[in-house]
Structure 1
Amino acid sequence: MTTVLAVANQKGGVAKTTTVASLGAALAGVGQRVLVVDLDPQGCLTFSLGHNPDRLERSVHDVLVGDAEAKEVLLDTDEGVSLLPATIDLAGAEALLLMRPGREFALKRALAPLLANVDVVIIDCPPSLGVLTLNGLTAAEAVLVPLQCETLAHRGVGQLLRTVSEVKQVTNPGLELLGALPTLYDARTTHSRDVLADVADRYDLPVLSPPIPRTVRFAEASASGATVLAGRKNKGAQAYRELAENLLEHWAGNDLVTFDQQ
């Protein structure tokens, strides 16, 4: 069975795209057939995986509006994952989809023919709660919320959780909320732990392990069009490899590993 995971947070700068790219590469590294979907018109995931969005003739935009089949748009990457890329044209997809019946199901329909050939699909939702994010949540079996370990980072989390609840009621009853993934985590401070404890208590939201550490390696990797796993050994790559193993265990029927803030 193929697992479809949406990574969503309407707040920018929380390492959402980094999580999609790095987790995808980590899963591919242990033999999983991985497809990542860039639903952000900025195309950051596409760029992070070595493709220039400005030079692409077709993207997930064409797929969502019905001008192309998903298999015709797929790109290979050096990380071993397949990519359904984004371009700035995707910004116009929301307006087009708004006028169509069943608009929340466009991505789910487009991905259906691909699922037999992949083990995991990871969807990079844009930093908003518009039609594109609703498509990602409707197509997914589970949603992961990257959360920056800083004060006020959880602003909007409640709104996102309400959106997830509404999606479960209307378009995707089986959607599972995995929990929050701590990002930009600094183990040397108590502040990061305090933020996570506040989120866990306020929203009754599981906090997943391991926390993703703050490291310059992520920025360096993105700038080079690769993931942090492609470089030399570092703590960021190790964290995403551990997260991949934890998620595979969960999808095999075991309990999620959560982070102990004590």
Structure 2
Amino acid sequence: MGRIIAIANQKGGVGKTTTAINLSASLAALGKKVLVIDTDPQGNTTSGFGVDKNNLENTIYELILGECSVQDCMIKNVVEGVSILPSNVNLAAAEIELIGVDRKDFILKNEIDYIRDSFDFILIDCPPSLNTLTINAMTAANTVLVPIQCEYYALEGLSQLIHTINLIKERLNPDLDIDGVVFTMYDSRTNLSTQVVENVKSHLNQHVYETMIPRNIRLAEAPSYGQPINLYDPKSAGAESYMALAKEVIDRKL
């Protein structure tokens, strides 16, 4: 049965999408069968795999509204071993469309249950807010992976995210756990990055992944070429870090 990981943090710009794209591609490179679900209306994970998000007949939006099946929506092998349920700006309307819908927080879970056994890992890229889409992702997931940028305000909002996760665990998904925290945009040359890491470790009673994702220009360039970093520049520090993180994720026993 596939392990479902929601990648979430309500702060924007912390590396959620970068992690969704590159962790999934690295897991696939290690022989795992992976599905990525893009639940962010910006659709950056979709375009990061080279998919033209603006010319899609079926996306996660149509899936959530019951207008297509998972198989209709899925784009297989966007890179070898990785399939995707894509997203685009239409998804922004989902919040309104789902008002009054019965058991709306379980829509994504019910759809994923049909295909869960076909994948080793299912990664869900969440939007940078705690809305219906994020709740759907967390209701469907086994665990939540939290990317944290190495910056001064790293801890801001994190307690709110943990509170939300605990609420969802209490009311919607009793099996939900925090997978762990992964540090992104780490710069070993600055004292600030080191201080942030120590600060988070001392304040958070959570698993922290040993692998830290560095600030890396090649990582920033890769999405504009529609490729994950392990294809765009496999020898870059970013590619090596995501490969190391993928190995940690595989070995993590919850």
Alignment deviations for residues 51-103 of structure 1 (CA, whole Å, 9 cap, x no partner): 12111121000111111111111113035300000011111111122321211
Task: Assess if the C-alpha contact under 8 Å between 2:31 and 2:81 holds in 1.
Answer: no
SS of equivalent residue, structure 1 residue 67: coil
Partner of residue 235, structure 1:
237
Task: Assess if the C-alpha contact under 8 Å between 2:152 and 2:196 holds in 1.
Answer: yes
Partner of residue 27, structure 1:
27
Letter of the structure 2 residue corresponding to residue 18 of structure 1: T
Unaligned runs of 5+ in 1: 254-262
| 1:96 and 2:97 correspond | yes
Alignment deviations for residues 107-135 of structure 1 (CA, whole Å, 9 cap, x no partner): 00011111121111000000000000000
Displacement of 1:148: 0.2
SS of equivalent residue, structure 1 residue 98: coil
Q: Paired residue for 1:245, among 218, 224, 247?
A: 247
SS of equivalent residue, structure 2 residue 145: strand
Task: Assess if the C-alpha contact under 8 Å between 1:79 and 1:226 holds in 2.
Answer: no
SS of equivalent residue, structure 1 residue 61: helix
- Aligned length in residues: 252
| 1:199 and 2:200 correspond | yes
- Work out the CA distance in 1 between the residues paired with 2:100 and 2:91: 15
SS of equivalent residue, structure 1 residue 4: strand
Letter of the structure 2 residue corresponding to residue 8 of structure 1: A
Task: Assess if the C-alpha contact under 8 Å between 1:5 and 1:142 holds in 2.
Answer: yes
- Work out the CA distance in 1 between the residues paired with 2:45 and 2:80: 12
Partner of residue 7, structure 1:
7
SS of equivalent residue, structure 1 residue 68: coil
- Work out the CA distance in 1 between the residues paired with 2:184 and 2:155: 12
Partner of residue 164, structure 1:
165
Letter of the structure 1 residue corresponding to residue 221 of structure 2: E
- Work out the CA distance in 2 between the residues paired with 1:174 and 1:127: 23
TM-score for both structures, normalised by structure 2: 0.96
Alignment deviations for residues 6-37 of structure 1 (CA, whole Å, 9 cap, x no partner): 00011111110000010000010011110000
Displacement of 1:198: 1.4
Letter of the structure 2 residue corresponding to residue 63 of structure 1: L
TM-score for both structures, normalised by structure 1: 0.93
Partner of residue 155, structure 1:
156
Q: RMSD in angstroms over aligned alpha carbons?
A: 1.1
| 1:84 and 2:115 correspond | no
Task: Assess if the C-alpha contact under 8 Å between 2:43 and 2:87 holds in 1.
Answer: yes
Partner of residue 49, structure 1:
49
Letter of the structure 2 residue corresponding to residue 139 of structure 1: A
The more displaced of 34-43 and 148-157 is 148-157
- Work out the CA distance in 2 between the residues paired with 1:81 and 1:16: 17
Matches for 1:64-213 after TM superposition, within 5 Å: 64-76=64-76, 77-213=78-214
Letter of the structure 2 residue corresponding to residue 71 of structure 1: Q
